[in-house]
Amino acid sequence: MPDAPNKTLAPAEAKQFTGYQKVVAGLLAFLQFAVILDFMIMAPLGALIIPALEITPARFGMIVSAYAFSAGLSGLLAAGFADRFDRKKLLLFFYVGFLASTLWCGLAQSFPALLCARIATGLFGGVIGSVVLAIATDIYAPGLRGRVMGIIQTAFSASQVLGLPLALYASNRWDWHAPFFLMVALGGVGGLLVAWRLKPVTAHLEHARDVHPVRHLIATVTARRHLPAFATTILLTTGGFMIMPFSSVFVVNNLGLSNADLPTIYLLTGMCTIVAGPLIGKMVDAFGRMKVFLIGSAVTSVMVVVYTNLGPVPLPVLVVVNVVMFVGIFSRMIPYQAMSASVPEPQMRGSFNAISASIQQLSGGVAAIVAGHLVHIGPGGKLEGFNRVGWVLVATTVAGAFLVRQVDKEIRQRAAAQAPAGGV
């Protein structure tokens, strides 16, 4: 396959995926899968790592949060350089570093070693997601972005359906190091496929100017059109990161289910959202980003209130509630990702996405800390105050909807002004 640089398709050509675009969408989804699984796997491994390394839960919390904060820092550091290189080369550089750091996690035999390994993994892994989104925006025209974001978003579901059960099986079969070795092996195969099949992504360099990285970073952060999008990212991330860390504790301690039921919940929820993600993406392209986002926000708000106020329920009831809630969450995130892809100019897409990824990680880390102060373990071991976390998520969802309207309005106004030149 010739290494011809990618160009964004004109709107007239954007009615369906080409064969190459289908392959790229699958590769990008796999990379997201690898990064998300690496982040998510730490929580269920805690029960093995804490006694194996003879550390306290507080120290394990440091290991988990170290990834988020280092990933946030790396996004800021990379933003100034993100639009100065072929995106394929940038992606492979950080992905190789990510795999090497994951291998280090598998080799770690002490708390300091694992902590340093997680910091390194965050530094490399924190940039990959932003480069993936920049490549998706460069390769796919606006009329296809809902579908491709839906495909990429299924990486989260796939990590639940395929990744977590496989990683947990490996850890039970051998020890807690095994999942990291498994991720390196599978991730290495994916990296080779990306190096082989992905063409250079250099169209953005045609618009590039020789700007100092610090000035490029400052220009991206302070651009008026970017600020509502950054604020929306904070709001949408905050609620989710407040709910997720305590969900397993809530399910076991409050709803009367067992640890053995957790894989079933992950599996069934993930299977349903794998199907739902691409369908939501098609709905975004067919009915509009704003309509789908608002419907998703409404469903999310209702189901979060239901979920965080549940009492003891049978497993099938919880699965239904969980599935509908996650479909609502996906129906917010997929249209917003498609929308935010049109916010920056081509020469700022890499830095914009890097800063957005940084904001997600940092706000997620802060949200987890705040949530820790809103909940506590009460008499009898039940998690108390979890419903307060749910109401915070509803508040951030409503506020986010108002900001998303502003983002969508600005995009439409700019698209109308640029209509003779071919759209956003």
pLDDT category of residue 301 using cuts at 50, 70 and 90: very high
Is the pLDDT at 368 greater than 80, yes or no? no
Residue 221 has pLDDT above 80, yes or no: no
Determine the average pLDDT of the residues in 345-352. Answer: 74
CATH 1.10.540.10 fits 18-412, yes or no: no
Q: What is the distance between the alpha carbons of residues 122 and 70, in angstroms, rounded to a whole number?
A: 5
Q: pLDDT tens for residues 163-176?
A: 767 777 777 778 88
Instruction: Of 234, 261, 245, give the one whose Cα is nearest residue 386.
Output: 245
C-beta separation of 84 from 208 below 8 A: yes
What is the pLDDT at residue 95?
A: 94
Beta bridge partners of 376: 384
DSSP 310: -
How far apart, in whole angstroms, are the C-alpha atoms of residue 104 and residue 98? 10
More confident residue, 218 or 294: 294
How many Å apart are CA 124 and CA 75, to the nearest integer? 9
Does 1 score more than 70 pLDDT? no
Please say if the pLDDT value at position 130 is more than 80: no
Q: What is the mean pLDDT of residues 231-257?
A: 79
Higher pLDDT, 321 or 262: 321
The long-range contacts involving 181-184, CB below 8 angstroms and separated by at least 24 positions, are 181/103, 181/106, 183/34, 183/37, 183/38, 183/41, 183/102, 184/99, 184/102, 184/103, 184/106
Mean per-residue pLDDT over the chain, rounded? 80
Q: What is the pLDDT of residue 304?
A: 92
The residue ranges of every structural domain in the chain are 18-412
Query: Which one is predicted more confidently, 71 or 325?
Result: 325
| 160 pLDDT higher than 70 | no
Of residues 227 and 358, the one with the higher pLDDT is 227
Q: What is the pLDDT of residue 13?
A: 45
Which residues share a beta bridge with 377?
383
pLDDT (average), residues 295-306: 93
Q: What pLDDT is recorded for position 15? A: 60
pLDDT tens by residue, 261-272: 777 887 788 788
pLDDT in tens, 37-88: 887 777 667 667 878 888 776 677 678 778 878 887 887 777 666 667 788 8
Q: Cβ distance 85 to 129 under 8 Å?
A: no
User: Would the pLDDT of 3 be above 50?
Assistant: no
**What are the pLDDT digits (tens) for 110-120?**
989 999 999 99
Query: Is the pLDDT higher at 287 or at 147?
Result: 287
Q: Look-up: residue for tokens 């995106």?
A: 87
> Percent of the chain having pLDDT more than 90?
16
Distances 137 to 73, 148, 173, 337 between C-alpha atoms, Å: 23, 9, 41, 10
pTM: 0.72
* Residue 12 pLDDT exceeds 60: no
Which among 131, 148, 161, 128 has a CA at the least distance from the CA of 35?
A: 128
The answer to which of 222-226, 253-257, 333-337, 418-422 has the lowest mean pLDDT is 418-422
Q: State the pLDDT confidence band at 419, using cuts at 50, 70 and 90.
A: low
Tokens 């100065």 sit at which residue? Answer: 84
Q: Average pLDDT, stretch 181-186?
A: 90
pLDDT confidence band for 297 (50 / 70 / 90): very high
Whole-number Å distance between alpha carbons of 147 and 101:
32
Angle at 101 between CA 95 and CA 105, to 5 degrees: 140
